[in-house]
Structure 1
Amino acid sequence: MSWTALYASFFATMAFGILFNVPRKSLFTGGLVGMLGWAVFVALTVNLEIDTITATLFAAFSVATVSQILARRYKMPVTVFSIAGIIPLVPGGMAYATIRQFIENNYTEGVRLGSITLLMAGSIAFGLIFSGVITETFSRKRGYPKGNSSGG
């Protein structure tokens, strides 16, 4: 795993945190969340050779779970950490490649790349939702108050 890629994911997450107007005191921690998500994704795809869709699901789940924990610890909405934290996982480059294939009349490749892009986006959404459901389930069993984990 490249340290350069980890640093890039950290700073990209912090930059999007600034764009989304997250509180300054959470920028560094949010950057670490984004870096964690990217590290999980790369570790699964490169080291364990898991497909990108499954790796995206686990990375998004990791980001969301850590975001839930940090939201309770710092008494902030979970979205402060999770929204910026998933930025390194968003398949923007693949979406660009999809559109490019359609423009170049390579429809078969465009459909293939578009399908992968949509599945990756769905994996991100499912990872975030699944983490929220599990966190709420365990919080209720232990008697923890809801707090700011629901985003409000």
Structure 2
Amino acid sequence: MSWTALYASFFATMGFGVLFNVPRKTLLPIGLVGMIGWMIYVGLTLNLQINLITATLIASFSIATLSQILARRFKMPVTVFSIAGIIPLVPGGMAYDTLRQFIENNYMESVRLGSITLLIAGSIAFGLIFSSVITETFSQRKVFPKSD
């Protein structure tokens, strides 16, 4: 894992935070959330050879859980942290390659890449939802008490 990729994920996440007009005091934590999520994703795919969909699911779950913690710490909505933090995992390049293959009449490759793109997008959504459900379940049991 290169330092350049970590820095890029940090600043890209912060850039989307600026684009989404989040409060200034949350820009550094938002950047860290995106960087940590990317670090988990790359660590799982490169070091442990876990497939892309599973690694994306685990990384998005981690991002959403960290976002829940930071939202309570900063007394802000979870979406302030999770939406910008999930940006490094979004399969935009793969979606582009899917359409490029389709335009070049490579339909089988287009279908293959499109299927992977949809599975990655689904795993991002499932990771975010699963984290929310787990956090709400434990906060109702007073394991993670909500701050007032």
| TM-score bracket relative to the smaller structure | over 0.9
How many correspondences in the alignment?
147
How many Å apart are 1:119 and its aligned residue?
A: 0.2
Q: Provide the residue aligned with 2:87 in structure 1.
A: 87
Match of 2:77, SS?
A: coil
Q: Is the 8 A contact 2:33 2:81 kept in 1?
A: yes
How many Å apart are 1:146 and its aligned residue?
A: 7.7
Work out whether 1:14 is the aligned partner of 2:14.
yes
Distance 2:65 2:138 in 1: 12
Residue segments in structure 2 that go unaligned for 5+ positions in a row? none
Q: Provide the residue aligned with 1:29 in structure 2.
A: 29
Work out whether 1:110 is the aligned partner of 2:110.
yes
How many Å apart are 1:86 and its aligned residue?
A: 0.2
Distance 1:140 1:111 in 2: 43
Distance 2:109 2:95 in 1: 12
TM-score (norm 2): 0.97
Match of 1:50, SS?
A: coil
Identity %, equivalent residues: 77
Distance 1:63 1:140 in 2: 21
Distance 1:93 1:121 in 2: 12
Q: Is the 8 A contact 1:139 1:146 kept in 2?
A: no
Q: Is the 8 A contact 2:57 2:126 kept in 1?
A: yes
How many Å apart are 1:145 and its aligned residue?
A: 3.6
Residue segments in structure 1 that go unaligned for 5+ positions in a row? 148-152
Work out whether 1:54 is the aligned partner of 2:49.
no
TM-score (norm 1): 0.95
Distance 1:93 1:146 in 2: 39
Distance 1:77 1:20 in 2: 13
How many Å apart are 1:58 and its aligned residue?
A: 0.3
Q: Is the 8 A contact 2:72 2:146 kept in 1?
A: no
